[in-house]
Structure 1
Amino acid sequence: MIKVKVSLRPIVGKLNLPTVLKTAILPGDSFESLFIATQVGEIFYIGNGSLRTFLDIRPRILKLGTSEPGVSGRGYDERGLIGLAFHPYFYYNGLFYLHYSVAGTQGPGALSERFKPNPCDPKTLNLRWINRETHYDHIDTVEEWFLRSNGQPQKRRTLLNLRRPFFNHNGVNSLNFSPETGKLVLTTGDGGSGYDPFNLSQNDMEIAGKIIEIDVGKNTFFNNPTVVTRFNELPVTIQETLTVIAKGVRNIPGISFQRVNNQYIKYVGNVGQDIVESIFSFVYYKPIPVTQLIQASLMKSEPDQEGFINFGWRGWEGAFPTSFIMGCSSNPTLDEKTIAYYNEAVQTSVKRLQPLTSYFQKDPRPDKFGGTALTGVQAYMGNGIPDLKGSVVFTDLARNEESQPPVRGVLAYTRVGTDSKLNDFSVINIDYNFGSQSAYYVSLGTNLDQTTLFLGVYGSMKATDFNKGTVFEIVPDSKQ
């Protein structure tokens, strides 16, 4: 693949964790503004070169940095404001949508200790999430807001209230509108912990681990819907607004749409467990109405899943059966890899979608890298960086190497092939000096026509370390 080199142009610094980067045209404006949503609950925008506050919902966000056993006190968190999307007609109707973790909803978590499956102990392979109303970590909400004529945002209604079992895998950049259907797309992670203890991602009734379309054009008449975890717990009027595009999701940093001729290629990244990070692509799909899933469940029958997308988790981690890795006591230089869910890997082997590309958490090849967690996937259609035009650009949180700090994230790209093979990828070299500060790549965004890329960088892994964020525009290398 072509070796690409780019530079970074700082746009704004000293931000809190920038989780969503996207542009929109404000009512009355003639230009796009860059909107930056931070995990702690601030939304800023940059118009005419100045940074302004669009909305501050920090009092609505639960306190970040405290969580379940084994994690409490670390400061790392995956909750907070994790989704922002603007209605396709935002310029005219002022509608936008938020996904965040609600203040005051902390619970003890679904399990009292960290989970790891044991193929020799069937009990660990068939856990059930019981006592859900008391054994959960927090509640997420998806809301519709509108921009009033005086420029002040106001909440309009709540679309969903979701009870989550653990603090992590809630999705990030989790709200995006489909240019094909005009519907709001919600990407939900599998609920967290590790290895999806309750196999929520493959269960058709569970909201966790899915890609869901919401028809926001339908008025559900519910100001504050019941807090749920399963589709069949929702009021019928809300069920009727929902279709499911995909299941088998572990955790997704959003969905990206690339227009090619008269169709859209969809790109989805699935964050890995221990082995590999994967990016999937698909054009054709057949969503299943939630009412149809519920009917099939009641009849104890299998719904027609022809054209329905399944990413394969938890039986598969990208192109590999889900495995856990242990050190070999007889030879410390080697690892022992054990398939965690053999039967599930067999059952979903032909039903699942193969990845477009994958990269490993450990990779000795000199032109590749070991990754930590996929944090963004975006199509690039601009002419500014010619070697990237038509490519799929992605970011990883931190290069996984046996080196000393400071930490650096990774920017890379791949292309859609026509030979059905797993595609190669290439690291994008960045000409920028971060100095002695760590630089975790936490988010990736584009403008409306995908001709400009934005990168969110943070100087710490902790949500409790404030004002360490910078947003950059990815620009051509000035030295080329």
Structure 2
Amino acid sequence: MIKVKVSLRPIVSKLNLPTVLKTTILPGDSIESLLIATQVGEIFYIRNEAIRTFLDISPRIIKLGASSGGYDERGLLGLAFHPDFYYNGFFYLHYSVAGTQGPGALSGAPLESFKPNPCDPRTLNLRWTNRETQYDHIDTVEEWILQPNGQPQKRRTLLNIRRPFLNHNGVNSLNFSPETGKLVLTTGDGGSGYDPFNLSQDDMEIAGKIIEIDVVKNTWIDNPPVVTRFNELPVLIQETLTVIAKGVRNIPGISYQRIYNQYIKYVGIVGQDLVESIYSFVHHKPIPVTKLIQASLMNSEPDQEEFINFGWRGWEGAIPTSMIRGCSANPPMNEITMAYYNDAINTSVRRLQPLTSYFHKDPRPDKFGGTALTGVQPYMGNGIPALTGSVVFTDLARDEESHPPVRGVLAYTRVKTDCKRNDFSVIEIDYNFGTQSAYYVSLGTNLDQTKLYLGVYGSMKVADFNQGTVFEIVS
């Protein structure tokens, strides 16, 4: 693939950690404004190169970083503007709710401590029990309106979701589908490691799914119950939901690329120990939640032809999910063991193969060892001709063995005409971060996908404040 080199143009700095970067046309304006949502609950917009506050919901956000040494994956995770936002003022938020801190689903177990043991069937068949008390926090999805006086106001709550662990809540988790006009919510598998309860493959679980919400249907339910499963929702809410995909581990949103009269959908799935993966699909057959529930009640399986399954927890990208441990007889080498043989077999045929993958360890000189996928966006502009029509993605940081200071990675791939898997190429960046760490935490685009925005943070800890910068990626 062609070597591409870009520069970074700083737009705004000294922000808290930026989780969502996207543009919209604010009512009364004639040009787009860049909106920046931060993990701690602020939403800013850029107008005439000046930064202004659109909304600050930080009092509504759960206390971040207190139980995890400053690292956290909760907070303000999703922001989306209604396709008719300019006229109706509707926008949508996904965030972790203040005052909902719980003990976690595996009480007393630290984050990421779970690992399956293929020799111990108990670790392969864990169940999430006592959910009303054994959970980490509650996430909510809300509809807001920008009033004529310019003040945002909450209109209604669409979903309240109880989450088992601190991590894997998704990020950039709300987007509108240009195909259906519905709000799309992307949810991670609930967290810990290795999806201990296999929530991502359970059709009744909200975790580990890509869900469409028909926001046109007003359920008139002011405060929906806090749930973890679709069948716990009131029927009126069930009727607004459709499931596009399952088998999600963790996900930095969904993006759409229009090619002629159809849309290619792109999804990045964050890996466990081996590989990060980018998927693409055009044709798919979503399943209404009411049909999933009906099939569950009848102990049957709904028609899943052309239903998207990313394969987790049996598969990590194109590789059966594995565990790594050092070889005692040969310390430089690793022993890799398949974690869930039965799960890999059960999803081996139905799962979608990734468009491209990159690895946490990669000996090839023109590649890189990654840490975590943080954004996937198509680029349709002409400002960087070598990238036109490609899919750009970001990784948080080159693997931990690289020399400090830390640097994220920007790369790209393309959809091949034969729809087969493709390679990727690293994008070289001409920018001097100095001695400061630069974690690439988010990737965004404008409405017609002719501009790309990169969110960079100087720390892995959300509790280290004001270390964020948003750049435009330019030729």
TM-score (norm 2): 0.99
Structure 2: gaps of 5 or more residues? none
Distance in 2, matches of 1:402 and 1:372, equals 11
Q: Secondary structure at the match of 2:200?
A: helix
Partner residue in 1 for 2:77: 82
Q: Tell me how far 1:223 sits from its aligned partner.
A: 1.0
Partner residue in 1 for 2:358: 359
Distance in 1, matches of 2:2 and 2:229, equals 46
Partner residue in 2 for 1:97: 92
- CA offsets per residue over residues 372-424 of structure 1, 9 Å max, x none? 00000000000000000000000000000523311000000000013343210
- Per the alignment, do residues 401 and 130 of structure 1 end up closer, same or farther by CA in structure 2, a change over 3 Å counting? closer
Q: Tell me how far 1:153 sits from its aligned partner.
A: 0.1
Distance in 2, matches of 1:347 and 1:207, equals 20
- Do structure 1's residue 336 and structure 2's residue 323 form an aligned pair? no
Q: Secondary structure at the match of 1:430?
A: strand
Q: Tell me how far 1:47 sits from its aligned partner.
A: 1.4
Partner residue in 2 for 1:418: 417
Distance in 1, matches of 2:401 and 2:134, equals 38
Q: Where does 1:309-458 land on structure 2 (aligned, <5 Å)? A: 309-458=308-457
Distance in 1, matches of 2:25 and 2:131, equals 41
Question: Once the two structures are aligned, what percentage of the paired residues are identical?
Answer: 85
Partner residue in 1 for 2:31: 31
Q: Secondary structure at the match of 2:386?
A: helix
Q: Tell me how far 1:244 sits from its aligned partner.
A: 0.1
- CA offsets per residue over residues 125-168 of structure 1, 9 Å max, x none? 00000000000000000000000000000000000000000000
Distance in 1, matches of 2:258 and 2:94, equals 26
Distance in 2, matches of 1:231 and 1:37, equals 28
Distance in 2, matches of 1:361 and 1:375, equals 14
Partner residue in 1 for 2:305: 306
Letter of the structure 1 residue corresponding to residue 458 of structure 2: G
Letter of the structure 2 residue corresponding to residue 423 of structure 1: N
Letter of the structure 1 residue corresponding to residue 82 of structure 2: H
Q: Secondary structure at the match of 1:294?
A: helix
Distance in 2, matches of 1:304 and 1:412, equals 37
Structure 1: gaps of 5 or more residues? none
TM-score (norm 1): 0.98
Distance in 2, matches of 1:149 and 1:403, equals 51
Distance in 1, matches of 2:420 and 2:158, equals 40
- CA offsets per residue over residues 178-235 of structure 1, 9 Å max, x none? 0000000000000000000000000000000000000000001111100000000000
- Do structure 1's residue 58 and structure 2's residue 76 form an aligned pair? no
Q: 1:107 aligns with which of 96, 102, 105?
A: 102
Partner residue in 2 for 1:137: 136
Q: Secondary structure at the match of 1:51?
A: strand
Letter of the structure 2 residue corresponding to residue 42 of structure 1: E
- CA offsets per residue over residues 307-336 of structure 1, 9 Å max, x none? 100000000000000000000000011100
Q: Secondary structure at the match of 2:26?
A: coil
Distance in 2, matches of 1:158 and 1:421, equals 41
Distance in 2, matches of 1:341 and 1:195, equals 9
Q: Secondary structure at the match of 1:59?
A: helix
Q: Where does 1:86-235 land on structure 2 (aligned, <5 Å)? A: 86-112=81-107, 113=109, 114-235=113-234
Q: Where does 1:66-77 land on structure 2 (aligned, <5 Å)? A: 66-67=66-67, 72=68, 74-77=69-72
Partner residue in 2 for 1:46: 46
Distance in 2, matches of 1:395 and 1:454, equals 11
Q: Tell me how far 1:17 sits from its aligned partner.
A: 0.2
Distance in 2, matches of 1:372 and 1:133, equals 33
Distance in 1, matches of 2:215 and 2:66, equals 33
Distance in 2, matches of 1:216 and 1:236, equals 15
Aligned length: 471
Q: Where does 1:219-258 land on structure 2 (aligned, <5 Å)? A: 219-258=218-257
Letter of the structure 2 residue corresponding to residue 99 of structure 1: H
Calculate the aligned-residue CA RMSD, in Å.
Answer: 0.6
Distance in 2, matches of 1:469 and 1:429, equals 21
Distance in 2, matches of 1:37 and 1:401, equals 27
Q: Where does 1:284-303 land on structure 2 (aligned, <5 Å)? A: 284-303=283-302
Distance in 2, matches of 1:115 and 1:411, equals 31
Q: Tell me how far 1:66 sits from its aligned partner.
A: 2.4
Letter of the structure 2 residue corresponding to residue 86 of structure 1: F
Letter of the structure 1 residue corresponding to residue 356 of structure 2: T
Which is worse superposed, 443-452 or 411-420? 411-420
Q: Secondary structure at the match of 2:86?
A: helix
Q: Secondary structure at the match of 1:97?
A: strand
Q: Secondary structure at the match of 2:6?
A: strand
Q: Secondary structure at the match of 1:206?
A: coil
Letter of the structure 2 residue corresponding to residue 304 of structure 1: D
Distance in 2, matches of 1:475 and 1:413, equals 15
- CA offsets per residue over residues 258-296 of structure 1, 9 Å max, x none? 000000000000000000000000001110000000000
Letter of the structure 2 residue corresponding to residue 316 of structure 1: W
